[in-house]
């Protein structure tokens, strides 16, 4: 006897605490959120009933202040992310790197409170070699056996200190995916196999042991996987990969913050109780005009109010505006304020720092908790590193090469930028890797090629700067763990040596350190150090003015 079945698979990823239709950092309504996804999920459940699987790709525990409040301000309460996903009826989730960044105490508790399977087959117990999280989950939906295999980007050691993932190890997805696909096909008799991956499409860190974005490669190389639902890179994607045997693998990435829902529809032919054929069609569905789910909003109204009250607390005051945009063109109040905080707290002589936002502003007057989330979305610690003068120079050469290019004529662009299809100009590289240094006076020659731009004049206290001398340098843990590869590809330090260079680390996250510093001062009056500049001014100043107008239209200073 033959019959036909249709199964719906819904997928979100990289929610980053966007549970409500409100951005607690920008203090304005937002178009995404799980509150909108909830109404879409509810409508699909009416149609498909038990023939629906709801999956998530991780990075739910960091981002909006909803996460921080639940993880660290009110940790005694059941985790908000777990309660939200439980309420929506999620079936499985891949763990994300930002989930790991919260530390064992948070994510271990979160997993205990989740009513859904939290998966990562390539994250193993360091002692036993067995998966630390569940490797996969099997669902029997209308008689169809669907296996969901979880995977996490292996590049975590490049970003996070080992204390956050103590006792576990990360393997590349490519090294173990085929094994788990074969296992669920043979041992679980899976009819349909889904990869639930917190890893991007391609690019990123390309370390052979800790590759960041593997989806494109493993989709091409792995046999027997039907659908890969992925994320991490926040880039929407829909693609079908063909294989030599005539089979296909569908790839879907709905970007981030619940602006989109990834949706796969399985049309299945079943004969004599066995699946004969599965056709998979896929699409990305916009949630931006989806109505809010009133039941969801009422259920979590008290949580939303608690987070609002927390973020509106006044930490202190500032006499001047702090703008991240200024940091790209000169010694700025914003960057140098962060340098001041790092040097006040850490036992260091020098400080590295980059603007973490393209164009964030704290206006003169009261500084609120939400302002600091705008500057520091994620929870980095503060490190002190031991570096030689030569390594510091190479670090700076690499950093400035990320956002400046060599000028051959006074009319050339200075900034390394490009014009998008929307007509807007943007950086070619990620701005949170554009580090400057405090404690050194130096010039950046706009006419010189990559590797020869930086001329270090002296230490800012007047002492000579020596290339063969060792210095203590403060930096955030993302940079210190290898993030952006400024220490490895830039300074030339082998990745495995980085942990041995750490001489001090903070017990608090950097946002809390800044918050405590401002609270203790009451009022801050940040001023630029004026310790570095682009030269010659006759070339640099007109180029900066022109490029600033392109990157920041309407900017007059």
Q: What are residue 79's phi and psi, to 5 degrees?
A: -60, 135
DSSP-based three-state secondary structure for 258: coil
Distance CA 47, CA 172 (A): 39
* Residue 185 backbone dihedrals phi, psi, to 5 degrees: -70, -45
| Beta-ladder partners of 275 | 270
3-state SS track over 353-378:
ECCCCCCCEECCEEEEHHHHHHHCCC
CB 509 within 8 A of CB 385: no
pLDDT of the residue at 57? 99
DSSP 6-40: EEEEEEE---TT--SSEETTTTEE-S--HHHHHHH
Q: Rounded to whole angstroms, how far apart are CA atoms 237 and 227?
A: 13
Delimiting residues of CATH 3.60.21.10 domain(s) in the chain:
2-308
Report residue 2's pLDDT band, with 50, 70 and 90 as the boundaries.
confident
CB 48, CB 7: distance < 8 Å: yes
pLDDT reported for residue 66: 98
Neighbours of 385 (CB within 10 A): 26
pLDDT in tens, 299-342: 999 999 999 999 999 999 999 999 999 999 999 999 999 999 99
Largest CA-CA distance found in the chain, in angstroms, rounded? 88
Query: Using the 8-state DSSP alphabet, how is residue 404 labeled?
Result: B
pLDDT for position 108 = 98
| pLDDT surpasses 90 at 356 | no
pLDDT in the model for residue 376: 82
Q: What is the CATH number of domain 2-308?
A: 3.60.21.10
Mean of pLDDT over the chain: 96
Paired tokens of 519 = 């609270």
pLDDT digits (tens, 9 = 90+) for 140-192: 999 999 999 999 999 999 999 999 999 999 999 999 999 999 999 999 999 99
Task: Output the pLDDT for position 556.
Answer: 55
Burial zone of 485 (CB within 10 Å; 0-12 exposed, 13-18 middle, 19+ buried): middle
Sign of the torsion formed by the C-alpha atoms of 480, 485, 489 and 494: positive
Measured between alpha carbons, how far is 69 from 79 in angstroms, rounded to an integer?
Answer: 10
Q: What is the pLDDT of residue 196?
A: 99
Query: Which residues lie closer than 8 Å to 116 by C-beta, 6 or more apart?
Result: 85, 86, 90, 91, 92, 93
Evaluate if residue 68 carries a pLDDT over 90: yes
For 441-479, write each residue's pLDDT tens digit: 999 999 999 999 999 999 999 999 999 999 999 999 999
Is the pLDDT at 557 greater than 60? The verdict is: no
Q: Residue 1 pLDDT > 90, yes or no?
A: no
pTM over 0.85: yes
- Characterise 352 by phi-psi region: left (phi > 0), alpha (psi -120 to 50), beta (else): beta
What is the per-residue pLDDT across 121-136, written as a single tens digit (0 to 9) for each? 999 999 999 999 999 9
DSSP label of 415: B
User: What is the chain's alpha carbon radius of gyration, rounded to the nearest angstrom?
Assistant: 25
137 bridge partner residues: 148
Contacts of 147 (CB under 8 A, 6+ apart): 136, 137, 138, 139, 184, 185, 188, 190, 192, 193, 194
The DSSP bridge partners found for residue 269 are: 4, 277
3-state secondary structure of 504: strand
Percent of the chain with pLDDT over 90: 95
Q: How far apart are CA 557 and CA 276, in angstroms?
A: 67
User: How far is Cα 70 from Cα 61, in angstroms, rounded to an integer?
Assistant: 9
Rounded Cα distance between 441 and 531, Å, is: 5
pLDDT of 379: 84
Confidence band for 555, pLDDT divided at 50, 70 and 90: low
Domain with CATH 3.90.780.10 in the chain: 313-551
State how far the Cα of 132 lies from the Cα of 121, in Å rounded to an integer. 8
Give the position of tokens 């590809």: 489
pLDDT of 429 > 90? The answer is yes
Query: Of 556, 15, 6, 53, whose CA–CA distance to 256 is shortest?
Result: 15
Nearest Cα residue to 150 out of 68, 95, 99: 95
Please report, rounded to a whole number, the percentage of residues in the chain having pLDDT higher than 70.
Answer: 99
- Rounded CA gap, 215 and 253, in Å? 10
Q: If you classify domain 313-551 with CATH, what class do you get?
A: alpha beta
What mean pLDDT is predicted for residues 249-256?
Answer: 98
């Amino acid at each position: 006897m033959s019959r036909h079945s249709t199964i719906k698979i819904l997928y979100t990823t990289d929610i980053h605490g966007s549970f409500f239709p409100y951005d607690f950092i920008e203090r304005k309504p937002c178009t995404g959120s799980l509150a909108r996804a909830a109404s879409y999920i509810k409508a699909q459940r009416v149609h498909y009933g038990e023939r629906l699987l709801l999956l998530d790709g991780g990075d739910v525990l960091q981002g909006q202040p909803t996460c921080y409040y639940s993880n660290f301000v009110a940790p005694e309460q059941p985790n908000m992310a777990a309660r939200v996903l439980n309420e929506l009826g999620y079936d499985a989730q891949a763990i994300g790197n930002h989930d790991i960044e919260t530390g064992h105490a948070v994510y271990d508790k979160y997993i205990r409170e989740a009513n859904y399977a939290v998966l990562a087959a390539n994250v193993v117990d360091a002692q036993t070699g067995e998966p630390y999280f569940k490797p996969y989950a099997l669902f029997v939906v209308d008689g169809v056996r669907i296996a969901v295999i979880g995977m996490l980007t292996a590049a975590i050691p490049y970003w996070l200190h080992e204390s956050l993932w103590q006792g576990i190890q990360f393997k590349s997805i490519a090294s173990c995916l085929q094994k788990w696909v074969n296992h669920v096909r043979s041992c679980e008799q899976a009819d349909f196999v889904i990869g639930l991956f917190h890893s991007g499409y391609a690019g990123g860190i390309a370390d052979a042991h800790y590759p960041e974005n593997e989806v494109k490669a493993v989709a091409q190389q792995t046999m027997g996987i039907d659908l890969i639902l992925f994320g991490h890179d926040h880039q929407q994607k829909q693609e079908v990969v063909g294989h030599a045997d005539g089979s296909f693998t569908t790839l879907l990435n709905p970007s981030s913050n619940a602006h989109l829902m990834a949706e796969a529809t399985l049309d299945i032919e079943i004969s004599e109780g066995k699946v004969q054929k599965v056709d998979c069609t896929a699409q990305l569905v916009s949630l931006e005009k989806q109505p809010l789910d009133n039941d969801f909003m009422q259920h979590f109204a008290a949580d939303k109010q608690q987070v609002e009250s927390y973020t509106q607390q006044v930490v202190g005051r500032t006499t001047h505006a702090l703008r991240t945009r200024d940091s790209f063109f000169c010694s700025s109040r914003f960057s140098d304020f962060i340098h001041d905080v790092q040097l006040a707290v850490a036992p260091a002589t020098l400080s590295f720092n980059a603007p973490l936002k393209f164009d964030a502003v704290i206006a003169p007057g009261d500084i609120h908790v939400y302002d600091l989330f705008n500057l520091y979305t994620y929870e980095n610690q503060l490190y002190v590193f031991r570096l030689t003068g030569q390594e510091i120079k190479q670090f700076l050469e690499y950093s400035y090469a990320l956002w400046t290019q060599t000028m051959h004529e006074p009319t050339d662009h200075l900034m390394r930028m490009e014009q998008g299809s929307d007509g807007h100009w943007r950086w070619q590289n990620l701005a949170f890797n554009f580090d400057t240094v405090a404690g050194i006076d130096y010039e950046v020659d706009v006419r010189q090629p990559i590797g020869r731009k930086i001329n270090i004049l002296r230490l800012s206290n007047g002492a000579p700067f020596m290339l063969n001398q060792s210095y203590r340098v403060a930096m955030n843990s993302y940079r210190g763990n290898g993030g952006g590869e400024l220490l490895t590809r830039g300074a030339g330090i082998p990745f495995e040596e980085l942990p041995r260079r750490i001489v001090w680390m903070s017990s608090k996250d950097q946002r809390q350190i800044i918050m405590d510093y401002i609270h203790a001062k009451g009022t801050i009056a940040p001023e630029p150090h004026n310790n570095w500049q682009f030269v010659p001014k006759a070339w640099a100043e007109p180029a900066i003015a022109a490029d600033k107008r392109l990157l920041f239209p309407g900017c007059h200073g």
